Amino acid sequence: MSFSVANVRKDFPIFERTIRDGKRLVYLDSGATAQKPWAVINAESDFYSKHNAAVHRGAHQLAEEATDAYEGARAIVAEFIGANENEIIFTKNATESLNLVAYAMGNADKGNRFALNSDDSIVVTEMEHHANLIPWQQLAKRTGAALSWFKVTEGSRLDLSNINQVITSNTKVVAVTHQSNVLGTINPLEAIVARAHEVGAVVVLDACQSVPHMKVDVTELGVDFLAFSGHKAVGPTGVGVLWGKPELLDALPPFLTGGSMVSSVTMTDATWADVPQKFEAGVPNMAQAVGLGAALNYLSTIGMDAIREHEISLTEYALEKMLAIPGIRIIGPQNNVSRGATIAFTIEDIHPHDVGQFVDSQGVAVRTGHHCAWPLAKCMNVPATTRASFYLYNDEQDVDALVEAVVGAQKYFGRF
């Protein structure tokens, strides 16, 4: 139930390099994108060098092999989140997955269960990443539907006290993040799912920050759609996933149109293939899907529960060490309850960009800014924060390096 970080790091070639004149790389930006193990890099290379061909199309051996590899990856993804193969759609990233749902709903004709009009409402939260906010703003604008949202409490939790007023009988969609990419807060979903389903709304879960870090089972969660990105789960860039309940994917109109997603085509009209092909227009990101399969297999071998445990104990350690720095303010839960290994903070009035630059000079890679969650920054009343996010290849030494660098930044910018 536990693993050696030192061994894990050996699987990731990037840790063989150094930063800023020979410093050890302390990579604390996995919330933006994760590093890649050889298993993933080699899976992509192998696909290109041995089996590359267009899937589903050719009558030749390479096409058969490519199709097997691609559909095999779909099966791996399905198993990883407790779903069936034909419920998995490959996209280019979670942003596309979420846009897919929003645009496809916008394509629904009157009478379709997803058709929205000015009587309807869409619910989001104040802690959404732009990717799970703006597509819904735009859908609201296109259809005339109202947009409402759950607020965030002082304790950095979703305020569900008014759940019955926010999710009403007019609500058609509730789009919510599983784990905030800024606060680290893991949201409780039972009440939201129960209320949404009570009023006949679907729940769209942004699982970008959860699927890579903990065991996620779509059946247990009870949500209707789920999106995540491969690149945050030690997978390749250029591949994301949308999962949906099969009857909903069936009812949902297509989004991108073109080759491979049709049943028949005339000059003026087209009918659609079955799910998942209906949602995968064009030659797919085959090598990237195969790489994602390798990534999830890699994570499974280490064990998602072990990864979650590791992150919990690392967060425990980090919170304690960081809260001891004078002048620090942690933006997010101060305790280690229902929270992931993402710690955003400000330090006195040193601008996050300057903090980030200083810690970078020490080999510590963090992210600074509003982290694509601008409304959240505004409601936490910070123009920007510095964010450290941990993953399976980080250890307490990395936390120590961060703390030392932050203290160094305080000294550096207080030097006159």
Ligand X SMILES: Cc1ncc(COP(=O)(O)O)c(C=O)c1O
**Judged by CB, which is closer to a copy of itself: 241, or 245?**
241
**Judged by CB, which is closer to other proteins: 169, or 271?**
271
**Judged by CB, which is closer to other proteins: 211, or 347?**
347
177 touches which of ligand X, a copy of itself, other proteins, none (CB within 5 to 8 A by kind)? ligand X
Q: Is 93 in the site for ligand X (CB under 6 A)?
A: yes
Catalytic machinery residues: 372
Pseudo-torsion of CA 139, 143, 146, 152, nearest 10°? -10
319: which residues sit within 8 A by CB, 6+ positions away?
330, 334, 335, 336, 343
* Span 184-213, contacts to a copy of itself by CB under 8 A: none
Q: Which stretch binds a copy of itself (CB under 8 A): 129-137, 162-170, 187-195, 402-410?
A: 129-137
Count Cβ atoms below 10 Å from residue 165 Cβ, excluding itself. Answer: 8
Q: What is the rounded distance in angstroms from the CA atom of residue 2 to the CA atom of residue 4?
A: 7
Q: Is 103 in the site for a copy of itself (CB under 8 A)?
A: yes
Total of residues contacting ligand X (CB under 6 A) = 17
Q: Is 63 in the site for other proteins (CB under 8 A)?
A: yes
206 touches which of ligand X, a copy of itself, other proteins, none (CB within 5 to 8 A by kind)? ligand X
Q: What is the rounded distance in angstroms from the CA atom of residue 384 to the CA atom of residue 35?
A: 24
Q: Is 368 in the site for other proteins (CB under 8 A)?
A: yes
The DSSP symbol for 177 reads: E
Q: Is 44 in the site for a copy of itself (CB under 8 A)?
A: yes
> What's the number of CA atoms in the CB half-sphere (13 Å) around residue 341?
30
Q: Which stretch binds a copy of itself (CB under 8 A): 1-9, 54-62, 80-88, 303-311?
A: 54-62
- DSSP state string for 60-92: SHHHHHHHHHHHHHHHHHHHHTT--GGGEEEES
Total of residues contacting a copy of itself (CB under 8 A) = 94
Which residue's entry shows tokens 């099966």?
75
Q: Is 259 in the site for ligand X (CB under 6 A)?
A: yes
Interacting residue with other proteins among 29, 352, 402, 403 (CB under 8 A): 352
- DSSP state string for 206-266: E-TTTTTTS---HHHH--SEEEEEGGGTT--SS-EEEEE-HHHHHHSPPSS-STTSEEEE-
Q: Is 209 in the site for ligand X (CB under 6 A)?
A: yes
Question: Min. distance of Cβ 6 from ligand X in angstroms?
Answer: 28
Residue length of the chain: 416
First-residue to last-residue Cα distance in the chain: 50
**Judged by CB, which is closer to ligand X: 181, or 386?**
181
Work out the angle at residue 264's Cα, subtended by the Cα atoms of residues 143 and 67, and round it to the nearest 5 degrees: 100
Q: What is the rounded distance in angstroms from the CA atom of residue 110 to the CA atom of residue 89?
A: 25
Binding residues (CB under 8 A) for other proteins: these are 20-21, 56-59, 63-64, 67-68, 262-264, 273, 351-354, 357-358, 361, 368-370, 374, 377, 383-384, 412-413, 415-416
Binding residues (CB under 6 A) for ligand X: these are 93-95, 129, 131-132, 177, 181, 206, 208-209, 229, 231, 259, 282-283, 372
